[in-house]
Structure 1
Amino acid sequence: MGPGVVVTGLTLGALAVVSLLAFQANGAQDRAGGPHSSASASSSSSGPTASATASPSASPTPTAPALPASSGTGLRVVYSVGSHSVWLVDPKKTPQVVASFTVTPGTVEPTPGSYPVYSRTPATTGTDGRQIEHVVRFTQQNGVVFGFSAAVDGATATTDPKGKTGGIRSSRQDGQLLWDFAPNGTKVIVIA
């Protein structure tokens, strides 16, 4: 048996071991319930450091358009009435937009302006009777309370049998991001 045969045998053996290890690693990820693609989402429960690059769910949340120039300054949540988009902006981060997503508004929209988050509720029942979570309220206008929330059942549309509702619904994942980002006092900029 010549040296070429020995080298070939060792090379094939090494390739078989590497292939087996790669197969086992892939199977371990599947058993752990890990993502099956390179898309990932990250969030933090320790303040305004949450960011999202993609949704791990089967139907990812549509990404908002680019942040408009007229969106204010400083740490803020920006809500566009026209595009129904939300941006979480932290000027100390690179990029400054740490997350952006689309939402579904209630039956009425808030007037453009700057408002502080004044109330938060981890879980409650919405005016439409659905169980909601991560409620972040920022203004009241003409008897209507405006705030962001996510329905526990994943529904994004809101209907209020009593009439007007200012609930702005997001996906549960995006609701968690906003909740982590916007404690009481956080500026919410509503733009046209």
Structure 2
Amino acid sequence: MAKRLNPGVAVAGITIAALVGVGFLAAQAANSAPENRGIARTSTPTPSAASGAPAPPVYVPPPVPANSGTGKRVVYSLKDSHVWLVDEAERTLREYRVVNAPVKPQPGSYQVTLKKEEAQTGSDSLRITHSVRFGAVQGIPLGFAATDTPLDKIDTGNKSTPSPSGTARPRTSAPPAKQSAGVRSNTEDGAALWAFAPVGTPVIVVP
């Protein structure tokens, strides 16, 4: 006659098997997580609208510009003042707004030539960190850097001051812009770019 299994032993065995299965699935999920955890921007849930209030607009990231190369690269759009960090699998790990420099590069293909993480004073007199240089324009260092100055407070030299009306004083022109080819971002985005792009990484500048 077959020996009857103790019910308590059977339940314990089932419980152990279930726990082992959960642990295996958790390990699989951890192994499939992206490697660039500090580079990829984490998504934030859209807050629910209050009763009777219109829902806030949902941010839709702009797509990577067409004809901007393939593979791991930094894509920089002059017209949109925007940067994309794209990995080898053509996934956009991060995208963000930047402030263009007064002296702009020509569209084309460049590559990272020099990096400096420490704080310094940029050619536009701003305090910058996480500099990523990828060339020069008119002999001026060309590159990305982070700044703790709010982006909407950065003067790119493109604003003109209107002359007061009703005066005979001659109109004076705005002071010339500082000769800077530094593209500025906030500190978080600048640090992500610095970590993403070692020396030799392609930088594609599009119109």
Please give the range of the TM-score, normalised by the shorter of the 2 chains: 0.5 to 0.7
**1:76 and 1:150 mapped to 2: Cα distance?**
18
- 2:101 matched residue in structure 1: 106
- CA shift for structure 1 position 164: 1.8
Q: Does 1:178 align with 2:188?
A: no
1:65 equivalent to 2:62? Answer yes
The reply on whether 1:118 has 2:125 as its aligned counterpart is no
Instruction: Show the 5 A alignment for 1:122-161.
Output: 122=117, 123-155=119-151, 157-159=154-156
Q: TM-score, normalised by structure 2?
A: 0.60
Contact preservation (8 Å) 1:63, 1:102: no
State how far apart, in whole Å, the 1-side matches of 2:156 and 2:97 are: 18
Rg bigger for which structure?
Answer: 2
1:75–1:84 Cα change, 3 Å: same
Q: What is the Cα deviation at residue 158 of structure 1?
A: 4.8
Give CA deviations for 1:113-133 in whole Å, capped at 9, x if unaligned. 111100111121112222110
1:166 and 1:145 mapped to 2: Cα distance?
A: 6
**2:38 matches 1:53:** no
Q: 1:167 aligns with which of 182, 197, 201?
A: 182
The SS at the match of 2:134 is strand
Q: How far apart, in 1, do the equivalents of 2:195 and 2:86 lie?
A: 13
TM-superposed CA distance for 1:149, in Å, is 0.7
Which structure carries more strand by proportion? Answer: 1
Give the count of matched residue pairs.
Answer: 139
Q: Give the distance between the partners of 2:150 and 2:128, measured in 1 at CA.
A: 9
Instruction: Report percent identity of matched pairs.
Output: 41
Counterpart of 1:75? 72
Partner of 1:26: none
Q: Gapped runs of 5+ residues in structure 1? A: 1-41, 45-49, 56-61
CA drift of 1:43 comes to: 4.3
Computed over aligned residues only, the root mean square deviation of the Cα atoms, in angstroms, reads: 2.5
Q: Which runs of 5+ in 2 are unaligned?
A: 1-35, 45-58, 158-175
1:88 lines up with 2:85 in the alignment: yes
TM-score (norm: length of structure 1): 0.64
* 8 A Cα contact 1:77 1:87, kept in partner: yes
